């Protein structure tokens, strides 16, 4: 990625959009950039922070791992989004693991440089506070979904959010072009592959989505949105869904 493209991506981040162009160009020219292949671990839980991570290209997920080997996705970050924020600010260890979902380029803004930028640009600091507030709301929603919603409802919410660009779990532009495996969807909604497959089939039988060649297409987003409120113990009536 050339310097102009790097500058453009950095400028799209809430951390840097309020900065003068000259400061962003200076930042783009000086920050170290690391390349990762799909599946590479960027940092592990407990690692010391190298600084604020910015996705210049690609996509990254942060996860926590259970003792039985299952993963729970905390957040997915696309281009221009930041991760590793908490450890960059409190200078503590990373609370989760970060993994490249595709081949990615990651810029790292060192803590001292980041704090200097925010001290000298109060508007940027306010934008960061807004970002943190939005993420806190999103994490609350994720916890609520895991506690109160069925897997079908959680899968429905993920699809609705991707179609509308709601950044509850995935922070990137609105689309359904990114192809997630059933295992990846399961990790996002706190389930397992087999249960996610059944959930997708349920939504397809209800004519809310179509699955073609490994992709999911939303047929009726408003009706699908209605399914996001289904509770943990809700079971569809056997004759309620129209079969293709």
Helix (H, G, I), strand (E, B) or coil at 91: coil
Question: Please, what is the Cα angle at 151 between 75 and 166, to 5 degrees?
Answer: 40
**Whether the Cβ atoms of residue 237 and residue 202 lie closer than 8 Å to each other:** no
Domain membership of residue 146 (yes or no) is: no
Distance from C-alpha of 92 to C-alpha of 110, rounded to nearest angstrom:
14
The secondary structure element, H or E, covering residue 56 is strand 52-57
For the segment 9-57, what is each residue's pLDDT rounded down to a tens digit? 999 999 999 999 999 999 999 999 999 999 999 999 999 999 999 999 9
For the segment 157-172, what is each residue's pLDDT rounded down to a tens digit? 999 988 888 888 899 8
59 lies in the same domain as 102: yes
Report pLDDT for 153.
92
For the segment 79-127, what is each residue's pLDDT rounded down to a tens digit? 999 999 999 999 899 999 999 999 999 999 999 999 999 999 999 999 9
Number of Cβ within 10 Å of residue 94's Cβ equals 21
- Picking from 134, 159, 192, the residue at the C-terminal end of a domain is 134
Domain membership of residue 244 (yes or no) is: no
Domain membership of residue 235 (yes or no) is: no
Domain membership of residue 7 (yes or no) is: yes
116 lies in the same domain as 159: no
46: tokens are 């407990």
Report pLDDT for 231.
59
What residue numbers bound the domain in which 187 lies?
151-229
Q: What is this structure's pTM?
A: 0.85
**Whether the Cβ atoms of residue 97 and residue 64 lie closer than 8 Å to each other:** yes
Predicted confidence band of residue 177 (pLDDT cuts 50, 70, 90): low
- Picking from 78, 108, 134, the residue at the C-terminal end of a domain is 134
Tell me the CATH number at 182: 1.10.10.10
171 lies in the same domain as 212: yes
Our count of domains for the chain comes to: 2
Q: Which of 97, 100, 38 is nearest to 63 (CA)?
A: 97
Report pLDDT for 234.
43
59 lies in the same domain as 114: yes
Helix (H, G, I), strand (E, B) or coil at 172: coil
Distance from C-alpha of 222 to C-alpha of 159, rounded to nearest angstrom:
11
β-bridge mates for residue 34, sequence order: 106
The secondary structure element, H or E, covering residue 24 is helix 21-30
Domain membership of residue 243 (yes or no) is: no
β-bridge mates for residue 135, sequence order: none
For the segment 190-206, what is each residue's pLDDT rounded down to a tens digit? 899 999 999 999 999 99
Place of tokens 């000298």: 120
Q: Which of 80, 17, 83, 12 is nearest to 51 (CA)?
A: 83
| Alpha-carbon distance values, 29 to 26, 51, 95, 108, 207 (Å) | 5, 16, 29, 12, 50
| Alpha-carbon distance values, 147 to 158, 191, 228 (Å) | 16, 12, 13
Domain membership of residue 240 (yes or no) is: no
Domain membership of residue 47 (yes or no) is: yes
Mean predicted confidence (pLDDT) in 180-193: 88
80 lies in the same domain as 193: no
């Amino acid at each position: 990625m050339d310097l102009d493209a790097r500058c453009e991506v950095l400028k799209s981040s809430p951390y840097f959009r309020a900065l003068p162009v000259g400061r962003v160009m200076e930042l783009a020219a000086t920050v170290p950039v690391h390349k990762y292949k799909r599946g590479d671990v960027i940092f592990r839980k407990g690692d010391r922070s190298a600084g604020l991570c910015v996705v210049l290209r690609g996509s990254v997920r942060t996860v926590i791992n259970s003792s039985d080997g299952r993963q729970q996705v905390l957040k997915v970050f696309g281009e221009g989004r930041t991760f590793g924020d908490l450890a960059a600010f409190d200078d503590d260890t990373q609370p989760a693991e970060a993994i490249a979902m595709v081949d990615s380029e990651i810029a790292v803004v060192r803590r001292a440089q980041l704090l200097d930028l925010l001290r000298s640009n109060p508007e940027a600091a306010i934008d960061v506070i807004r970002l943190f507030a939005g993420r806190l709301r999103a994490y609350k929603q994720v916890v609520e979904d895991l506690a109160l919603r069925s897997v079908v409802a959680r899968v429905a919410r993920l699809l609705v959010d991707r179609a509308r660009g709601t950044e509850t779990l995935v922070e990137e532009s609105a689309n359904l072009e990114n192809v997630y495996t059933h295992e990846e969807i399961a990790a996002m909604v706190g389930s397992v592959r087999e249960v996610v497959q059944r959930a997708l089939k349920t939504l397809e039988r209800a004519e809310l989505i179509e699955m073609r060649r490994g992709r999911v297409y939303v047929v009726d987003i408003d009706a699908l949105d209605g399914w996001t409120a289904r509770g943990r113990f809700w079971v569809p009536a056997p004759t309620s869904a129209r079969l293709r």
